[in-house]
Amino acid sequence: MKTYNSLNEVQTDLFNHSISCKELVQQYLTRIEEKKNLNAFLEVFTQSALQQAEKVDAKIKSKTSGKLAGMVIALKDNLCYKNHKVSASSKILEGFESLYSATVVERLLAEDAIIIGRCNCDEFAMGSSNENSAFGNVANPLDTSRVPGGSSGGAAAAVAADLCLASLGTDTGGSIRQPASFCGVVGLKPTYGRVSRYGAIAYASSFDQIGPITKNIADAAIIMEVMAGKDGYDSTASSKPVPEYSKKLNQPTSKLRIAYIKDVIDSKGLNPEIKAKVETIIDQLKAEGHTVEAVDFPYLDYLVPTYYVLTTAEASSNLARFDGINYGYRSKNASDLESTYKLSRSEGFGKEVKRRIMLGTFVLSAGYYDAYYSKGQRVRRLLQNKTNEILNNYNFIILPTTPNVAFKFGQHSADPIAMYLEDIFTVQANITGVPSISLPIGTHSNGLPFGLQVMGKHFSETELFSFSDYLMKDLGKKKEAVS
Ligand code: GLN
């Protein structure tokens, strides 16, 4: 099978008729079957994917095809697709079928993308390793003894292993960027409000964003251009016009002002090779005439606690709807209403989800609300103000995506705090709502990839994409496909 690395390559072959969409989908289906050991997909939508492929083939013939014609995309298993199953990798939603499609899904299909299946993830998107799925671990395609990252682990692994050209994930605290970093692909968390969340199974609604996982910037840009924008079904989706991101790449990058956070680079837990790579990039950018300066952000220690206080609070509320009555799993051992609630939730949710519901309920409870939830909100404001202050002075902040490369299965399982600290560099963008992208431009001496993260001002995706393209092309090397 020919390996495609961009939509441009796919469309070149489609438009000169050296392949059809149907053949393309069949090739991906074969490859998914061959790579079943990764456990990246929970379900492959063979029938609907082939049907859509035929439809797109006809449109190509009549020269009426949309922007994403031939783009084979996988969905994280927390995005709704009408008449298809969606489970958030939880037993509590096992067998549940969506009654409607997420806005992003409708928009992708309208531009002739082909949705190939749903990808494994951490249960309700809670995790950093995909080890919290009710349906088994996902293996990192670059080293199957290691995790792919999480929570969009299957979605990142699927792109890295060429089981689809792109995927959609959700990012509440790093769930697109961290697995992208671990699997050597591009992952974008858009500005909060840039993309409608309608049809995404909510974890923490004031943090969640849907975003693309791709092999290059151009593909991420075109997916964003199609799926972003206002939506009558999500009042938090901004009505700001959506630029044609894909047409604004490769624009000459004028001299930029770039910040890096001193405490991040000097943080104890940062792998020395990742630190060295970030420092090299800083030097290269300076050598090219950009201004790159260290800035103070004295709140690093508050990021992860603030994230976990606020997201668990929101999760405890969002997940109240899974009660054994309205959705999915209902305990067979229940005898009345109360035991239906209690047993369905006790049996249906996994350990990490229960831990977070309990934490969230605690921080919202009458006696502790002021000490935790309300304080968390105030600290969030402080973190937002300080981040905005930096971004008022600089175009971007650069930092590593993760403190380390992909870790081994089980390495953090006994210690939830150690697992939570994996999110140290990614949660800032969610707490503050700014867009952030992970670029696969580092390779450790052990052969594993790691990402460079770039955060920009709110709604600066255009600039973020062109700077990322420049970093990937001029300062880093493009990732080779995994064979
Ligand atoms: N690892 C983080 C968590 O467990 C991020 C999850 C996410 O972004 N969905 O909450």
Sign of CA dihedral 302, 193, 112, 46: positive
pTM: 0.97
In this structure, the strands spanning 114-119 and 72-76 are parallel
Percentage of the residues of the chain whose pLDDT score is greater than 90: 93
Helix (H, G, I), strand (E, B) or coil at 293: strand
Q: What is the pLDDT of residues 55-99, one digit of tens each?
A: 999 999 999 999 999 999 999 999 999 999 999 999 999 999 999
Q: For the chain, what are the domain ranges?
A: 7-247, 257-298+386-473, 304-370
Q: Does the annotation mark 76 as catalytic?
A: yes
Instruction: Decide if pLDDT at 110 tops 90.
Output: yes
Nearest to 461 by CA among 257, 248, 297: 248
* DSSP conformation class of 16: T
In 3D space, the residue among 22, 92, 96, 32 whose CA is nearest the CA of residue 59 turns out to be: 22
List CB contacts of 270: < 8 A, sequence separation 6 or more. 264, 400, 403
Q: What is the pLDDT of residues 436-473, one digit of tens each?
A: 999 999 999 999 999 999 999 999 999 999 999 999 98
Tokens, residue 482: 């995994």
Neighbours of 255 (CB within 10 A): 9
Residue type, 447: G
Sequence-separated (6 or more) residues with CB below 8 Å from residue 426: 171, 173, 174, 177, 178, 401, 402, 436, 453
> Between 59 and 413, where is the model more confident?
59
Question: Quick one: which of 192, 286, 177 has its CA closest to 238?
Answer: 192
Q: Which residues, in sequence order, are bridge partners of residue 408?
A: 146
Pocket lining: 174 vs ligand 1, CB cutoff 6 Å: yes
- Yes or no: say if 190 and 438 are a contact pair by the CB < 8 Å rule: no
Catalytic-labelled residue, pool 6, 151, 152, 246: 151
18 carries an active-site annotation: no
Q: Which two tokens stand for residue 347?
A: 């049996």
The yes-or-no verdict on residue 283 having pLDDT over 70 is: yes
What pLDDT, on the 0 to 100 scale, is given for residue 396?
98
Asked if 364 contacts 313 with a C-beta cutoff of 8 angstroms, the reply is yes
Question: Would you say 330 and 92 are in contact if contact means Cβ atoms under 8 Å apart?
Answer: no
**What are the tokens at 142?**
């670059």
Ligand 1 pocket residue status of 127, Cβ below 6 Å: yes
CB 404 less than 6 A from any atom of ligand 1: no
Q: Which CATH architecture has domain 7-247?
A: Alpha-Beta Complex (3.90)
Looking at the CA of residue 126, tell me the nearest atom of ligand 1: 4
Q: Residue 90: how many CA atoms within 13 Å on its side-chain side? A: 30
Which residues are paired to 397 by β-bridges? 259, 455
pLDDT of residue 473: 86
Index of the ligand 1 atom closest to the CA of residue 423? 1
- Catalytic annotation, pick one of 6, 128, 152, 175: 175
- Give the whole-angstrom CA distance, residue 48 versus residue 101: 14
For residue 481, what pLDDT band results from cuts at 50, 70 and 90?
Answer: very low
How much distance in Å is there from the Cα of 306 to the middle of ligand 1? 13
pLDDT digits (tens, 9 = 90+) for 300-345: 999 999 999 999 999 999 999 999 998 889 999 999 999 999 999 9
- Provide the 10 A C-beta neighbour count for residue 238: 19
φ and ψ of 380, to 5 deg: -55, -45
Identify the band that residue 252 occupies on the pLDDT scale cut at 50, 70 and 90.
Answer: low
Model confidence at 482: pLDDT above 50: no
pLDDT at residue 475 above 80? no
The mean-pLDDT minimum among 34-43, 288-297, 408-417 falls in 408-417
Active site residue 175: yes
Q: Name the residue among 384, 400, 408, 404 with its Cα closest to residue 439.
A: 400
Q: Which tokens hold the place of 92?
A: 């509590």
Q: Give, for 389, the enclosing helix (H) or strand (E).
A: helix 375-393
Cis amide leading into 65 (omega within 30) = no
Distance (Å) from CA 94 to ligand 1 centroid? 21
Summarize the confidence of residues 356-369 as an average pLDDT: 97
Percent of the chain exceeding pLDDT 70 equals 98
pLDDT recorded at residue 274: 97
**Nearest residue to 317 via CA among 356, 372, 349:** 356
359 CA from centroid of ligand 1 (Å): 15
Q: Are 454 and 423 a contacting pair, CB within 8 Å?
A: no
210 close to ligand 1 (CB < 6 Angstrom): no
Per-residue pLDDT tens for 342-359? 999 999 999 999 999 999
Q: Whose CA is nearest to atom 5 of ligand 1?
A: 173
Separation between Cα atoms, residue 205 and residue 317, nearest integer Å: 10
H/E segment holding residue 377: helix 375-393
- Three state DSSP letters for 417-445: HHHHHCCCCCHHHHHHCCCEEEEEEEECC
Residue with tokens 């943080």: 267
- Rounded Cα distance between 131 and 137, Å, is 5
